[in-house]
Amino acid sequence: MKKPIILSILILLVLGSFSCIQIENKFTALPPGPWRAVLKLPLNHVPLSIEAKEELVKEYSIEKNYRELPFIINVVYINQDSFNLEIINGEEKIMVSDIVYALDRSTAKDTLTINFPAYDTYIKAIYEENFIEGAWYVNYKENYSIPFIAYQGKDQRFKVEPVDAAVDLTGEWEVTFDHDKGENSYSAIGVFEQEGDKLTGTFKTETGDYRFLEGIVAGKKFYLSVFDGAHAFLFEGKETLADELTGIFYSGKHYQSNWIAKRAIETTKLTSPYDLSKSTTQQAIAFSFPNTKGEITSLEDDQYQGKPKLVNVMGTWCPNCRDEVNFLKENYNAIQDKGIEILSLSFERYREEHKSLSAIKRYKQSMEVPWEMLYAGYFNKAEANEILPFVDKVISYPTLFFIDAENRIKKIHTGFNGPATEEYSDFKNEFFEIINTIL
C-alpha cells in the first residue's frame, strides 16, 4: 500500500513544479511573421448593375457587406521591444518604421498606429490576441477612412474558391479604362506574369504605372491588389472571349472604373512622355515659392544662378512622384558632380498653406530629400496650369523639367513609370543623355 501513496506524492510534486514554470513571451507587442491584412471596401460605395450584384452574391457571403482589398504584412522585430512592418506587394517590400504601440486608456486596449508620414496617411487599430482591427485614414481627404483588419499567421493574399487556373495571362494586354465613357476613356498596357495560379504585374498608362500588383487566377477569373500607404488598388477581371478580358478597377472606396483588354499581338507603345507637355516659351522662365522654412526661393537665388536645373513638379501624396524622387536621390551625386541643381515644386491636396508646408516638411524629412522642396499651390491641374504658365498643360504628377543655365526649358518628361516596369531602366539610360543637352 505504501508504493501507490509514494507514487501519488511524487506525481503531485512533479505537477506542482511544472505549474511554477512560466513561459516568457519573448516579444512585447505583435507576434512576428506574416499577417493577412484587408481593407474593407463597402459594396454600395458605387452604383452596381443587377448583374454585378448577382455576381457579388455568388462571390461573397450574404453576411459580408464589403469587398476585400488584401495585402500581406510581415512583422519584423529589431529587438524584443521594437519592431518594423514590411508591406509586401509582389517584388516590392516597403519597410515601415514609424509605429506607435501603446495602451489606449480610453478603451483599455493595446492600440497600434502605423504612420505613413510621406503620404500623410495612417492606420490606427486595436490589437487583440491574433488579429488587429481599425481603419486606414487619409488626412488630406475630408472624413476619409476605410475599415482595416489583419489576421496573424496568414499569408494567402486572396481567399477565393480553390479553382485551377484556366487561363494564362502572361504577356502584354492593350487596355482601355472607362471604356464606356467615350472621350473620357484612357489607354494603358497591362503587363502580367503568371506562374500556376500566382499572378503579378502592373498597368502602364501615359502618366505612370499602377504599382506592384499581386494576386491570383481562379478558373477564368483573376484578382490583383496593392497597398503602399497611398495607393489602395483592387482589380477584378475575367476572360470573356479568347484573349479578351473585362474587369473593374477600384481605387479605395471613392473610385471605380470598368475596363476591357485584348492580348497585344505585337509590342504596343503609349504616347512618348516627352510629347505630352510642351514649353510655351523659348525665353527664360521664372518662379518664386516658399520652401519648408517659409522662405521665398526663386531661380534667381545665388545657389541656382548660371546653373542647369532639374525641376520636379510633384505632390507628397503621389506614389509615382515618390518613385521619381527616389530616382533623383539615387543619382543625386552624379547630378551634382555635373553642376546641376534640383528643385521640387509640390502641389498639395490642402488649401491651407500651413498644412501643405507641414506635409512637405514631413515628406522632406522622412524621404531624406537633400534639395529644396517648395510649396507651389493646390493640386488641381487647372490651377497648376495658371501657376506654371510656361508649360502648355500639366497633365500629370510628376512632371520633370530639364532647364539650362539660362533658365530655358529644354525638355519636359511627363509622368513616371517606376521600378515595376521595363520603362524604368529605359528612362535611366535616356536621363543622362538629356542631362548632357542642358550642360
If you write DSSP's letter for every residue of 290-305 in order, what string do you get?
A: EBTTS-EEETTSTTTT
Q: Are residues 148 and 178 in the same domain?
A: no
Q: Are residues 322 and 226 in the same domain?
A: no
Q: Are residues 185 and 128 in the same domain?
A: no
**pLDDT tens per residue across span 394-405:** 999 999 999 999
Question: Which CATH number fits the domain that encloses residue 195?
Answer: 2.40.128.120
Residue 18 lies in a domain: no
- Distance (Å, whole) CA 60 – CA 62: 6
Query: Per-residue pLDDT for 53 more than 60?
Result: no
Lowest mean pLDDT among 14-18, 287-291, 299-303, 421-425: 14-18
Q: Are residues 252 and 300 in the same domain?
A: no
Q: Which residues, 6+ apart, have CB-to-CB distance to 313 below 8 Å?
A: 344, 345, 347, 376, 384, 388, 394, 397, 398, 399, 400, 401
Q: Which residues, 6+ apart, have CB-to-CB distance to 267 below 8 Å?
A: 172
- Distance (Å, whole) CA 392 – CA 407: 17
Q: Are residues 209 and 243 in the same domain?
A: yes
Question: Which CATH number fits the domain that encloses residue 143?
Answer: 2.40.128
Residue 399 lies in a domain: yes
Amino acid 10: pLDDT: 47
- Distance (Å, whole) CA 392 – CA 330: 30
Whose grid coordinates read 548632357? 436
Q: Which strand (E) or helix (H) includes residue 86?
A: strand 82-89
Q: Are 374 and 388 in contact (CB under 8 A)?
A: no
Q: Which residues, 6+ apart, have CB-to-CB distance to 278 below 8 Å?
A: 391, 392, 412
Identify the CA nearest to 370 among candidates 398, 341, 347: 341
Last residue of a domain, one of 152, 183, 207: 152
Q: Are 287 and 384 in contact (CB under 8 A)?
A: no
Q: Are residues 142 and 69 in the same domain?
A: yes
Amino acid 236: pLDDT: 95
Amino acid 288: pLDDT: 97
Q: Mean pLDDT score of the chain, rounded to an integer?
A: 89
Amino acid 5: pLDDT: 52
Last residue of a domain, one of 246, 263, 280: 263
Residue 432 lies in a domain: yes
Q: Are residues 337 and 246 in the same domain?
A: no
| Mean pLDDT value of segment 81-94 | 93
**pLDDT tens per residue across span 181-239:** 888 899 999 999 999 999 999 999 999 999 999 999 999 999 999 999 999 999 999 99
Residue 242's pLDDT band, with cuts at 50, 70 and 90, is very high
Q: Are residues 292 and 428 in the same domain?
A: yes
Amino acid 219: pLDDT: 95
Q: Are residues 137 and 232 in the same domain?
A: no
Q: Are 215 and 223 in contact (CB under 8 A)?
A: yes
Residue 49 lies in a domain: yes
Handedness of CA 423, 400, 88, 244 (dihedral sign): negative
Q: Are residues 371 and 309 in the same domain?
A: yes
Last residue of a domain, one of 152, 180, 206: 152
User: Count of domains in the chain?
Assistant: 3
Residue 377 lies in a domain: yes
- Distance (Å, whole) CA 437 – CA 142: 44
Amino acid 14: pLDDT: 45
Identify the CA nearest to 438 among candidates 419, 397, 410: 410
The overall longest dimension of the chain from CA atoms, in Å, is 111
- Distance (Å, whole) CA 154 – CA 259: 31
Residue type, 402: F
Residue 220 lies in a domain: yes
For residue 391, give its domain range: 288-438
Residue 11 lies in a domain: no
Question: Which CATH number fits the domain that encloses residue 309?
Answer: 3.40.30.10
Query: Per-residue pLDDT for 69 more than 80?
Result: yes
The pairing of strands 232-241 and 244-251 is antiparallel
Residue 282 lies in a domain: no
Paired residues of 414 in beta bridges:
399
Amino acid 22: pLDDT: 38
**Complete DSSP assignment for 122-138:** EEEEEEETTEEEEEEEE
Residue 60's pLDDT band, with cuts at 50, 70 and 90, is very low
Q: Are residues 196 and 133 in the same domain?
A: no
- Distance (Å, whole) CA 135 – CA 399: 32
Lowest mean pLDDT among 10-19, 96-105, 381-390: 10-19
Q: Are residues 297 and 430 in the same domain?
A: yes
The alpha carbon of residue 269 and the mean position of all alpha carbons in its chain are separated, in whole angstroms, by: 24
**pLDDT tens per residue across span 362-391:** 999 999 999 999 999 999 999 999 999 999
Query: Which of residues 253 and 161 earns the better pLDDT score?
Result: 253
Percent with pLDDT over 70 in the chain: 89
Amino acid 15: pLDDT: 46
**pLDDT tens per residue across span 141-180:** 999 999 999 999 988 999 887 789 999 999 999 999 998 8
Q: What's the pTM value of the predicted model, to 2 decimals?
A: 0.85
Lowest mean pLDDT among 40-44, 115-119, 255-259: 40-44
